[in-house]
Structure 1
Amino acid sequence: MSDEAHHSPGRRAVLISLLGAVASAACGGGGGNSPQPAPPTSAGTSDPPPAPVSRLALNGSSMLAPDGTPVILRGINEGTWGEMRSYDAATIAAQGGQVVRVLIRWWGLYGGTDVESRADPSPGHFKPDHLSRFLQEIQWCIDAGLWVIPVIDSNCGQNGLQDAAMAQYCDPSGTYPGGRNFWTDLAQRQLFKEAWVYLAGILKDYPKIAFYELLPEPLAGRDSSYGDDVSAFYQELMAAIEDQAGDKRTPILVGPRDAYNINLCDEAYIADPRWTNRVVYTGNLFIRTNQTQQQNIANLESRLGALVNMKTARNVPVFIQQFGVRSGDDPDQFYLDAGLSRLNAAGVGYTGWQWRQNTSSPSEYAVVIEDATTGADVVKTAVLAVYSKYWKA
């Protein structure tokens, strides 16, 4: 999702009583710093290198926890920049969630102020305070025992033609009529690759990193001639993460062109043996409610079926990185329940869209919204109850 907003500075959020009991369990986090090895035990000797941090292992269509047991990750997105609170991760874990998808925004027009994190002269081409915030959010999740999916999002890089304002922002000189993005401007592609190498160089020593999601929703509206271009882009970044950042263990999450069109998921398959048991495949699964209930459910099942069929036919792991339905379109949580029950039955993991959003509208996706007067947290308890039921199933 490309919608984005930034919270007002100084606003203090107070979680309602439903979550108060679990909020106290949250750990403050350590700013994302990984543990350091102990000093030498005696003169002239040093400890052996620290054990590798925990990672999922991929084996055919299965994901395995570090102890070798099969795992299906279910959780939610912290998708709105700057909105996550230190206690959110512990709350999500207490409700049964296992994974959180955390995004940083890089090169793009986003709503609100100070959302874009790109700063070319800075290390990794990130604004230092934004990178610190991103790593802090990741650490909060790790401290709560959750797996984390770090994502670098770029509205310009993925397409650059979402609307007239985006096109103007990404390409102010009008040099790229087909959109200024990572396929038409290779200089920007190089900077983005360097950003990923820098970030992976940090995160490779963090525990509980589930997957790196390299770039969400590439090339919306593009035809099948762009399928190979998307695959080549992902493989270029994957190779850089392995060869330059030295991370050969963290799985990579990729999806198809046309903005992660789940019906095209098989097109994203990477056949190169180098990437066997290294890649997880995804697609968006937002629920549509514009037809009859029967037709809407059939549409949901068809799109989920495309990903399940790929899992079986290709013997690869799959994951839904954005699942959801607007609360205004689902007042009794019928569709939310229907979607989550089908995901669980199919054995497909997911992160719901989304946990927190700085809006007072109850019609949006978020589980936690703002009180229109005070800015305090308002939790959609019925929505959370449905998520929690299936997270704990």
Structure 2
Amino acid sequence: MTKTRIGALLAAAVAVLLASLLAVPAAFAGPPGTTAVGLRISDGRLQESNGNDFVIRGVNHPHAWYTGETQSFADIKAQGANTVRVVLSSGDQWPETGVAEVESIVAECKANRLICVLEVHDTTGYGESAAAVSLDVAADYWLRVQSALEGEEDHIIVNIGNEPFGNTTYQQWTADTQAAVGKLRDAGYEHTIMVDAPNWGQDWTHTMRDNAQAVYDSDPTGNLIFSIHMYGVYTSESVVRDYLTSFVNAGLPILVGEFGHNHSDGDPDEDAIMGVTTELGLGYIGWSWSGNSSEVAYLDLVNGFDPGSLTSWGERFFNGPDGIAETSEEATIYSGS
């Protein structure tokens, strides 16, 4: 074979190689995480844009019902949490949390070096609770406040709707969740999106578990995380472990978005919830900082929004084994590490 022929073949080979490299999407052109917009999902794990795993250790804060308790963000951070999940309202059950208010919440989270999970609470128990609204209505709310969240993908996770089905019509969860996620993606949302389970968040029918892969695959970005709420259904270590490991073994991202130490529907095993999530490197967010109604006041972590007055649940959650003090690490977007 002549040098001219060899040179021509090499040139053709180089051209093919360059064309194939240029065809690779930018998101796959470098090490994992290097081109991410912000918080993202990679290999079933929540990561920051630098590729570091981020394990949520957070507190639920009932902002929509106590809009004046903005000091709570600093107080929650002072207890060691790295995340706050904030109750918002689409305006259907409570006054709407508008654009300016969302901007203020985002600013509080950033000022206090917290990752902020924002959730619409008006969807709670849809299909069973007459006052609850659909995920589609919640998605429309996210479009109304989108300007407050643009550019905040490093700091914000969008939890489309809290406990979006009760114990009836929950079979609609899969299609409705896919449609709501699609509406946000079509509108340009690039944030990590969190989706709650049906059955008042507890998924005792395993509707979310059995359809999670289909929902995850429907999101073109792959930046989707599932949230299970663990109350009276999760009364033993075996039940907690079985549910969480089903996602881990499938390579699907999961966290415990709400849980407590007691509940009217049963006695959740908080030690197992905190222990198994720690063992598996999964996130958890305790319910809730303060202000629960009298029948579930035992779920307050502090008395009367006073950070100096931890309840027994708060003492366990913050300072007990596998608790916030022992396991929480600040997001590197703030620490720079």
Residue 57 (structure 1) shift: 2.0
Deviations 1:78-137 (A, max 9, x none): 02522563332222223221111001123555xxxxxx124xxxxxxx6x4xx5334323
In structure 1, C-alpha distance between the alignment counterparts of 2:67 and 2:42, rounded to whole Å: 35
Shift of 1:243: 2.1
Alignment-derived partner of residue 238 in structure 1: 181
Q: Distance in 2 between matches of 1:198 and 1:62?
A: 29
Q: Which residue of 1 aligns with 2:41?
A: 58
Q: Report what 1:98 is aligned to.
A: 82
Where 1:211 maps in the other structure, the secondary structure is: strand
**Which residue of the other structure, out of 215, 223, 245, is the alignment partner of 1:308?**
245
Q: Distance in 2 between matches of 1:221 and 1:360?
A: 24
Structure 1 residues 217 and 304: alpha-carbon distance in aligned structure 2, compared to 1, 3 A threshold: farther
- The answer for unaligned runs of 5 or more in structure 2 is 1-34, 328-337
CA RMSD in angstroms, aligned pairs only: 3.5
The code of the aligned residue for 2:139 comes to: K
Higher relative helix content: 2
SS in 1 for 2:85: strand
- 1:356 corresponds in structure 2 to 290
State the Cα distance separating 1:281 from its structure 2 match: 1.0
Alpha-carbon contact 2:203-2:228 (below 8 Å) kept:
yes
2:229 maps to which of 274, 279, 284 = 284
1:247 aligns with 2:247: no
2:109 maps to 1:145:
no
Alignment check: 8 A CA contact 2:159 2:196 kept:
no
1:260 alignment counterpart? 201
Contact 1:311 1:317 in 2 (8 A): yes
Sequence identity, in percent?
18
1:197 aligns with 2:143: yes
Name which of 134, 159, 165 aligns with 1:219: 165
Mapped to 2, the partners of 1:316 and 1:377 lie a distance apart of 35
Following TM superposition, by how much is the alpha carbon of 1:155 offset from its aligned partner in structure 2, in angstroms?
4.3
**Residue in 2 aligned with 1:324?**
260
Aligned counterparts of 2:195 and 2:109: Cα–Cα separation in 1:
22
1:117 aligns with 2:69: no
SS class of match (1:220): coil
Alignment partners' CA distance in 2, 1:326 and 1:193: 32
Secondary structure, counterpart of 1:257 in structure 2: coil
Aligned pairs, how many?
Answer: 284
Asked if structure 1 preserves the Cα contact closer than 8 Å seen for 2:55 and 2:282, the reply is: yes
Give the C-alpha shift of residue 339 in structure 1: 3.2
The answer (yes or no) to whether the contact 1:107–1:155 under 8 Å persists in 2 is no
Give the Cα separation in 2 of the matches to 1:68 and 1:319. 19
Amino acid at match of 2:189: D
Report the CA distance between 1:284 and its aligned residue.
Answer: 1.0
Q: 1:269-320 CA deviation, whole Å, 9 max, x = no partner?
A: 14335446321012111256xxxxxxx752x53044213212212x111111
Match of 1:21 in 2: none
In the TM superposition, residue 203 of structure 1 has moved relative to its aligned partner by 0.6
1:161 Cα deviation from its structure 2 partner: 3.4
> What is the CA–CA distance in structure 2 between the aligned matches of 1:334 and 1:181, rounded to whole Å?
28
Picking from 313, 316, 319, the partner of 1:386 is 316
Write the deviation string for residues 31-54 of structure 1: whole angstroms up to 9, x where unpaired.
xxxxxxxxxxxxxxxxxxxxx997
- The question of whether the paired residues in 1 share the 8 Å contact of 2:123 and 2:165 is answered with no
Alignment-mate amino acid for residue 340 of structure 1: M
